[in-house]
Amino acid sequence: MGSKPTIQTVAQMAGVSRGTVDRVLNGRAHVREDVRLRVLEAIRQSGYVSPRDTHQRQFHQAYPPMKLGVLLPNWEGQFRTEVDEGIAQAQAELESTGIQILIRRCETDIPAEALKLLDELTEAGAAGLAVCAANDPSITARISALADEGIPCVTFNSDLPDSRRLCFVGQDIYKAGRIAGGLMSRCVPAGSQLLATVGNLKFDGHRQRLAGFRDRIREAGFPMEDLVVAETFNDYETTFRVVTEAIDRYPRLRGIYMANLSVSGCAAAIEQAGKKGAIRLICHDLNESVRQLLLRGSIDFTIPQNLRQQGYGPLILLRDVLRRKAAPDAARFNRQIDIVCSDNLP
């Protein structure tokens, strides 16, 4: 058996220096085309494999290419921007290891559409899924069925707690709602009416925020008949209309809890009614719009969450589980809950 070919073997066969072979192997400049072709032919004839190619072959033998899928809701604004940034960060980190990210985005809140997109992802070869979807029995059942098929799912932002999902990446949503309720109970006088707006009660995240808020203000002595709940579907115009109607209809309205997006629509309705300062406003998340509303005194408090981590973390956890056989550690992406006002803006 002959000795294993080396870079010196290639250099001798091609009649060039080892440095020239190195430049060809690494795609560097200052090599004539005829010399480059001669070196490549010597590599082919000798069977030489560079250390880098050897490492890549060993890696791909141990870890063949893999696809991961992401299912996103039809939400826009800050959620879409920051979650997409997190997904892009994960893709940049994972693509060099042969992992491809497939993304499907819902256009509606209809569960059948989410099921169709889940099927598309698995049929395209996704070995694991990151999912943010409505907490509908049909979706819960599909996630559990995928677990039986060996396709793990990590939920993020809004959980599917009754499914056999692997883990959840996101804030302790119920606790965040309780914190909002505790803040509100200190901001408004006894006997006040309150409005809580949610995006869509089909999503567990919105339900849990509302449940936490409701439980906390009940403990603080606010009767439940003084709490008005409305869905605004994360839409500016709907939020503006709902808040305007509530201000007209409930004369003792002193506090609004925005458990969803479109906070600017709520703030605009309060200001148009001449109630800025008289109606306290507590919300979630922190973007430039919320920052400016805090500085203007239109928002009293916000409870932010790390949406970029929610896009990034599920894909890293799926990689760890599928490639490294590691137990999922979602806690490292679920940070403590902060309260932000105009005086402690980061």
In a domain, 2, yes or no: no
pLDDT of residue 56: 59
Range of the domain at 274: 173-303
The Cα 237–Cα 296 span in angstroms is 21
In a domain, 340, yes or no: no
Q: Are residues 55 and 74 in the same domain?
A: no
CA angle 335, 336, 338 (to 5 degrees): 120
Q: Are residues 321 and 291 in the same domain?
A: no
Q: Are residues 150 and 127 in the same domain?
A: yes
In a domain, 341, yes or no: no
pLDDT of residue 292: 97
Q: Are residues 177 and 269 in the same domain?
A: yes
Q: Are residues 72 and 55 in the same domain?
A: no
Q: Are residues 191 and 237 in the same domain?
A: yes
Q: Are residues 68 and 160 in the same domain?
A: yes
In a domain, 312, yes or no: yes
The amino acid present at 105, given as its one-letter code, is R
In a domain, 52, yes or no: yes
Q: Are residues 160 and 133 in the same domain?
A: yes
pLDDT digits 0-9 by tens, 136-151: 999 999 999 999 999 9
DSSP E strands: which ranges in 140-279? 153-156, 167-169, 193-198, 227-231, 253-258
Other beta carbons within 10 angstroms of residue 67's beta carbon come to: 16
**CATH code for the domain of 296:** 3.40.50.2300
In a domain, 342, yes or no: no
Is residue 52's pLDDT more than 90? no
pLDDT digits 0-9 by tens, 331-341: 888 778 999 99
Q: Are residues 33 and 107 in the same domain?
A: no
pLDDT digits 0-9 by tens, 320-329: 999 988 888 8
Cβ atoms of residues 259 and 209 within 8 Å = yes
Q: Are residues 177 and 288 in the same domain?
A: yes
If pLDDT is split at 50, 70 and 90, which confidence band does 99 have? Answer: very high
The amino acid present at 90, given as its one-letter code, is A
Q: Are residues 86 and 33 in the same domain?
A: no
Q: Are residues 162 and 180 in the same domain?
A: no
CA 165 to chain centroid, in Å, comes to: 16
Cβ atoms of residues 177 and 145 within 8 Å = no
In a domain, 339, yes or no: no
pLDDT of residue 115: 98
In a domain, 231, yes or no: yes
pLDDT of residue 59: 61
